[in-house]
Structure 1
Amino acid sequence: LLAHETLGRLGGSNVPSALDSARSLVRASRERLRLWDLTDQQVRALEESRKHELYQPIYSPISGVVIEKMAFKGHRTEPGMPLYKIADLSTIWVYADIYEYELPFVQVGQEARITLAYYPAEEWTARLTYVYPSIDPKTRTAKVRFELPNSGKHQLLPEMYGNVELHVPAGERLTVPETAVLDSGRRQVVFVASTDGQLVPRDVKLGSRFDYYVEVLEGLSPGERVVTSANFLVDSESKLQAAESMMGMMGAIGMGDWKMESARPMEMGGQAGPGQEERRVGDLMVAVSVAAGPAKVGENAIRVRVRDASGAPVKGAAVSFSYTMDMPGMSIEQARAQERGDGMYEGSARFTMAGPWGLVVQIERPGKPPAREKFTLRVSG
């Protein structure tokens, strides 16, 4: 207003430079008001009214929703201080977490289906625009960003939660239910139904995972039948010939020559003596017993009696045994038995809890292949 007043007084001046200076001052004042975000209409109204206005409305440069307000009446402001935060919700970003094994199937440009629990009849289509280049070390997921036009009957708001579905064509692959796989971390095994009615454990190589199914790259053929539930029961109730239980001794030896039979706990009585169960192992008769009666939690002296086919005691053999409880997470303990004479060998085993324990005896003799057999001990508290 002062610039306009000065220009009015110098309008009839005969000094050209003074008139030019007044006009330049008006232009500079007008531009300064625009830098304060006053519109051309506000500047023009101020020039026409020639009155000072104590308050001037400041218009947002964009349309949107106020999501944060920092300015109040009487509040002192400084240059550069934010007064309002305004969000343009016409187009929104949707963030989703993708498991790292799903990343090979995720690409920029894919479309996703978005649903919300509170709008069950509605769904939205978003486009993937960015895959973040890092993995969250706690959740082992990668964050991806989708872009979504926010129009329609229900407007989406910031911080809402929803479900994101990406449909990726995977082609034709050999898969089994994920419950069919016994995974120890180092090996993956499935039980296959053979033609003679037995269940045979088989190593498999796994690939991608799809919902409740997992891809099998090696180890199975299309059409073979596999066990899909109670796998641990099948494993724990199996007597594995020439090997330990898969969950008890997994990784120690191969699995190709396992034979599935019922594993019986050691019975009291029998030809081998009280508390023993004697079995034929190749050309040997092997019996296992506990020196001080039934096995109990704690230290136990395990006796292994070895005889040949004629019933004569076997002397000078190297006898050892390994034992574990047939359940995930139990470690495998090893022990060597000392020869006590008359074909009797004795070693120490420490059982940490009551229940059935698998004990695998190995007998080595010069010039002959090792003999191995699994027994089951019932340990009481």
Structure 2
Amino acid sequence: MVERHAKREAEQGSRAKGPPVPARRRRLRFTREGKYFVGLTFAIGFAAINTGNNLLYLVLGMLLTLIVGSGVLSEIALRSLVAARQPPQRLFAHTPFLMGIRLHNAKRRLPSFSIEVEDVLTEAPRAPSAEERPLDKKCFFLKIPAGRTQRTSYRHAFTARGRYRLTSFAVSTRFPFGLFEKARRLGGEQELLVFPQVLPLPALPATYRDAGEQRSPRLGRAGEYHALRDYRQGDDPRDIAWRNSAKLGRPLVREHEDPRGQRVTIFLDNLGASSPSPAQHDRQEQAVSEAASHAAHLIARGLRVALVSRSFDLPAGSGPAHLDRMLTALALISFVGPDVPTPALPRDVLHIAAPFASASEAPDDLDRVA
């Protein structure tokens, strides 16, 4: 039953993520010990043939049995394995994270020993080529009993924002004697979206207080304290300031500002050169990172935030879901030429990290208010 469930899960995953990875031949590689062992086997075989010594033939047969047994047992260890990833909910550039790896042994009776798993990356932002390459971390599973699942994780940090495509798993083993390393591929295509780096903001810029936050004249109960006024028919008794009312001899009500009226519009001017130099590219990424940092900071404070650029216009919103929408837009944003006009901006706009005054020059001040 577990075997059927694992196969069904693998089929569903391949349908959801794209065509499955085609079956590939096993890759066999000699280890250093394996080279010595095979060399010794050839030497003993040559001596046995030349001398006709029965003892040498016996030793040769034992060595050949170890070689054949190593191939058979390593093949059994790699058979009927199903791998899956468990990425964190959010990934940020230059921020280490733990990628969970789940490996299921779908064999009914036989366990698998000494299994190493590598993630294989095919597509990355600004990658020079689309060749498959394994990531720099390996996960090791000492023993996976029949019908059981083992979990582990590896630590990694992506160096750029954008989409990454992981196409498969490279699974290998040196079981049982460490003479050979046999490897195969397991399907597991998955796309990951890496958000821009979010940096801590140690101090609140004055621009937030003076220009960014336009407080609404509407009143509510959940915002900051605004003023006291006389009680009117229909007011909520919970808003009555009893101590002040007792001092003045008449009922007074506390007024609060409506938090829904507090909003900031972030404008990221994504004007940039078509082929930026390394220094210009670093400034562009710094601009995107600062915009993401300010957006996360303002959302955490409970404000409604709008995000505007030359490429898109996200209306104001609040909460984690809206923050994800803004981070997604910033993760995929590209820099455009001067033919794309600057959008119409509201009065309360906060220019954050506008990186280029022209297509070839960046201003020094990245936090300025229009």
Please give the TM-score of this superposition, normalised by the length of structure 2. Answer: 0.23
Rg larger for: 1
Please give the TM-score of this superposition, normalised by the length of structure 1. Answer: 0.23
Higher strand share: 1
Q: Which has the higher contact order (CA 8 A, sep 6+)?
A: 2
